[in-house]
Structure 1
Amino acid sequence: MSSPSSPSSLSSRLSALLPDLAPWRASRDFRLLWSQGLVTYFASAMAMIALPLQIKELTNSPLAVGAMGAVELVPLVVFGLYGGALADAVDRRKVIVGTEAGLGVLALLLLLNSLLPEPMLWPLYVVAAGVSALAGLQRPALDSLLARIVPHEHQTAAAALNSLRWQIGSIAGPSVAGLVVALAGHAPAYAVTIAGFAASVLMCRRLSPAPPAHDAEKPSLRGIAEGARYAWSRPVLLGTYTIDLAAMFFAFPNTIFPFLADELDADWSLGLMYAAGSVGSLVLGLTSGWTSKVRRHGLLVVGGAAGWGLAIAAAGWFGNIWLVLLCLAFAGAGDMLSGLGRATIWNQTIPEELRGRLAGIEVLSYSVGPQLGQVRAGVMAGWTGTRAAVWSGGVACVASVGLLCLALPKLLTYDSETDEDSLRRKAQQEAVARQEELRGEPQGSAGTV
């Protein structure tokens, strides 16, 4: 028998930290979505850096950069809710392919505008609104498809692998984009974005069909309202939405990073600022094996969100660029931890017939917050200065998480092995798997209903 400090024991402990690859091995469609997402995230990150930098160069105004959040908000709300209803009513693969193609067209418009002798400002806002609308349509289909093709017990592992994929793309994208824009201008960054979406469309076309249930209703306001009533009646779900909204509204300062870099006399660090949070998330993702054994996912949501707020507050307080980058990395780890908890609760508890509509609400919870947060950060930076806008938002984030825990205590006590909704969803998924087995269909495909 080996001692606790023996090499075999140490190796076993290290192996337990590595990401759980069960979803990757079990589902061809999961592998396709993971690979497609890596390409898309890299391409999107290039545009994510180039677009606000171009607005900054044209206006030199933090308010003008922060206004991107206001422009994107309404399309995201409207199309996010409609996209949720659409995901429950049509083939989800078709929604994903169509929206990826549309995003590629919008990237082409950015490229054409950047090639003008004097690039115009208003098309940048129009494209930002269009990207927000298409993202709102797409994300419910993507998220609800994941809940369908990955077994109940592998949802946390799938969320960790997806987050790991996103971090790889978002680290490489901003880092490379900062260099590309600095050395060659905005046009090459937009060109890479176009190429990425073109490749993504080709990969998405290889996904298995994902038709709706036979008795699915057409998208309607009544159907959207039905999903909203279900979410409102579930304190655990309500807690995941509100905590994420509060954390992002108060502590999402990314839009004023260009001004923070100027204030710290570290213009060279802008790409690193955008990438630092992803580095922290990547480290957590690479050591996420332990999360597959967690049952109290509400604690992940709360602890991660509070950690995010504390780290953002520290990033605004310190004046040393390296300490700021370290704090942003810790913030990214906290955000990922909270995201793993949220994704697991959503996919383990929401019934299949409502999954798309609830995914639309989820889009609002994790997307509207950052959009409003961009506006808040830009306005506060104009009033109080950049660093004060950052650290005060972090403090407000921690306070709001604490208040929401007091208001919604069931989130803290959530247990995937005893929660009624979790057990009901698990039984539903197992019943579908048995039907597939009787029909001789491959399990884990996107075609299950």
Structure 2
Amino acid sequence: MAIGDLIKRYLVDTRPLQVPAYRRLWIGQTVSHVGLGVTVVAASQQVWVLTHSSLWVGFLSLANLIPLVVFGLWGGAVADAMDRRKLLLIGSLIAWASTLLILLQALLDLRNVYLLLGLMAVNATGFAITSPTRGAIIPRILPPERVPAANALQSLVFSVGAVAGPMLAGAVMAVSGFAAAYAIDAVLFSAGLYAAFKLPPLPPVGEVTRPGARAVLDGLRYILVTPVLLMSFVVDIIAMVFALPRALFPELAATRFGGSELALGWLNAAMALGSFTGALFSGWVGRVSRQGLALVLVIALWGLSVAAAGLAQSLWLVVVFLALGGAADVVSSVWRQSILQLYAPDEMRGRLQGVFMVVVAGGPRLGDVRAGATATVFGLAGAWIGGGLACAVAVLLVGLAVPGFRNYRAQRR
């Protein structure tokens, strides 16, 4: 096979970037996610400095969880009932304003962990509104056959932000402190605002349901009566709640690597490095038909990779195993998102994207709380290694026990 054919077969499909609206959205999101990655790492490190407790670092994610659930579901319902461009702008302005306030508390050196948790919760509210809205916009501005490729490109967005953001955060915090890190996020976020502003009007199509509890329940009911969709959420929750070790990174950096901010940056960037590589070489992902079975196996691989990272003693080996887990996770994400978008009619797409966002964003935060709490009881190694092994066992038992999911084959349109 010629080199050109190999590249076309295995490298990420970039054809969605030929559409100007999507290209601007993708570039703006990529730039702003670098800033978001900086703030996530800086905030977790600031909480650690203020409390010296992994449990409090876990509480930071818990503070984000409530607005993610409430406003993620509500935002998805609103996205089905109003112009999605306007809603994306509203959510983006909320996130940007909260970033400026987070910067202000660092500049004033207030040293108040409750204030920081509250501001991060407001920031999560903006994210909870924009994420399902953006997911519902993509199928409107791209032809259906380009949606899976766009999902792989979206994975690159998160991977770039999660790699560059933590590395930049570690370097900036080592030299200039927390305020400089938050200032970078405030500046870079403007790229996402510009991309949202340049989108065309996107009024609702099809039957419009008034946003509220009934609309949210309709979306949840749709998932519950669709076993493949339901199980795709269940296996992802198992992966994140059981195995994600993110809340343990500050303690690991402090106890095993001498408190180095650069080590902390590498730990936070490791999974994203794997995700970036996995997304970059994702050309084969769309050709897998047994996606239910493949999801189970790739999530089991994620859990085993996390456990191996917990056993490793050198920083480079921890990074390698976490990167392997990140590659497995991004493949899982592309399959789950594509399954959801191909099932959903446009008039329900926002609500289902809201549920997807709650699971994708809420699961890791529950995982942070689980990691922090179990580390308090069983120690760092027990929380890290035990969680990875429990994930691998649980996903195999649950995922393979449901024939409809185990035998599911990709839907083609």
Q: Same fold (TM over 0.5)?
A: yes
Partner of 1:381: 375
Alpha-carbon distance in 2 for matches of 1:94, 1:303 = 40
| Structure 1 residue aligned with 2:266 | 272
Judging changes above 3 Å, is the alpha-carbon distance between structure 1 residues 90 and 395 closer, same or farther for their aligned structure 2 residues? Answer: same
Q: How far off is 1:195 after superposition?
A: 1.0
CA separation in 2, counterparts of 1:265 and 1:277? 18
Structure 1 residues 346 and 406: CA distance shift in structure 2, 3 A:
same
**Contact 1:316–1:389 (8 Å) recurs in 2:** no
The 8 Å contact of residues 25 and 192 in structure 2, kept in 1 or not, is answered as: no
Deviation of residue 118 (structure 1)? 4.0
Q: CA deviation at 1:214?
A: 5.6
CA apart distance, 1:132: 2.0
Return the letter of the residue paired with 1:104.
Answer: W
How far, CA to CA, are the matches of 2:76 and 2:251 in structure 1?
36
Contact 1:298 1:413 (8 Å CA) reproduced: yes
1:12 corresponds to: 5
Q: Tell me, what secondary structure is at the counterpart of 1:219?
A: coil
Conserved 8 A contact 1:46-1:173: yes
- Secondary structure of the 2:283 match is helix
Distance 1:400 1:413, change over 3 A: same
Encode CA deviations 1:4-31: one digit per residue, 9 max, x unaligned: 6xxxx34422442121122222x22211
Q: C-alpha distance in 2, partners of 1:321/1:264?
A: 9
Q: Distance in 1 between matches of 2:97 and 2:392?
A: 40
Q: Is residue 22 of structure 1 aligned with residue 15 of structure 2?
A: yes
Alignment check: 8 A CA contact 2:206 2:346 kept: no
Q: 2:43 aligns with which of 46, 51, 55?
A: 51
Distance 2:383 2:28 in 1: 36
Deviations 1:120-169 (A, max 9, x none): 22211101211222222221111111122222222221111111122122
Shift in alpha-carbon separation, 1:311–1:52, aligned structure 2, 3 A = same
How do 1:297-446 and structure 2 match up within 5 A?
Answer: 297-417=291-411, 426=413
Report if the CA contact (8 A) 1:159-1:343 is conserved: yes
Q: Report 1:3-402 matches (<5 A).
A: 9-25=2-18, 27-213=19-205, 215-266=207-258, 267=260, 268-402=262-396
* Deviation by residue 1:182-224 (Cα, 9 ceiling, x = unmatched): 1100001111111122232122100111111264122021111
Cα 1:110/1:75, change in 2 over 3 Å? same
Given residue 76 of structure 2, which amino acid in structure 1 is its aligned partner?
Answer: G
**2:352 is paired with a residue of what secondary structure?**
helix
Quick one: distance in 2 between partners of 1:77 and 1:235? Answer: 22
The separation in 2 between residues aligned to 1:63 and 1:41, in whole angstroms, is 26
Alignment check: 8 A CA contact 1:301 1:340 kept: no
Q: 1:37 to 1:300 in 2, by over 3 A?
A: farther
Map of 1:443 onto structure 2: none
Distance in 2 of aligned mates of 1:162 and 1:150: 13
Question: Where does the alignment leave 5 or more consecutive residues of structure 1 unmatched?
Answer: 427-449
RMSD (CA atoms)? 1.6
- Name the larger-Rg structure: 1
**1:390-415 CA distance string (max 9 Å, x none):** 11110111122112213433223222
Displacement, 1:263? 2.5
Asked whether the 8 Å contact 2:297–2:396 carries over to 1, the reply is no
Q: Which amino acid is the alignment partner of residue 159 of structure 1? A: N
Give yes or no for contact 1:315–1:324 (8 Å, CA) kept in 2. Answer: yes
Amino acid at match of 1:13: L
For residues 117 and 42 of structure 1, what CA distance do their matches in structure 2 show?
24
Q: Secondary structure at the match of 1:207?
A: coil
Structure 1 residues 32 and 86, CA gap change in structure 2 (3 angstroms): same
- CA distance in structure 2 between the aligned counterparts of 1:360 and 1:204, rounded to whole angstroms: 18
Per-residue CA deviations over 1:268-316 (Å, capped at 9, x if unaligned) read 4110111111111111122111223333333442232111111001111
- Please state how far the C-alpha of 1:333 moved relative to its aligned partner: 0.2
Task: Give the structure-2-normalised TM-score.
Answer: 0.95
User: Which is further off, 104-113 or 27-36?
Assistant: 27-36
Evaluate the alpha carbon distance shift between residue 283 and residue 117 of structure 1 in structure 2; reply closer, same or farther with a 3 A threshold.
closer
Equivalent residues of 1:237, 1:345 under 8 A apart: yes
What's the CA shift for 1:264?
A: 1.8
Moved more, 130-139 or 91-100: 130-139
- 2-side partners of 1:12 and 1:318: how far apart? 38
The 1-side partners of 2:279 and 2:31 are apart by 18
- What number of residue pairs does the alignment pair up? 411
Give the C-alpha shift of residue 69 in structure 1. 2.1
Distance 2:4 2:76 in 1: 44
Unaligned 5+ segments in structure 2 are none
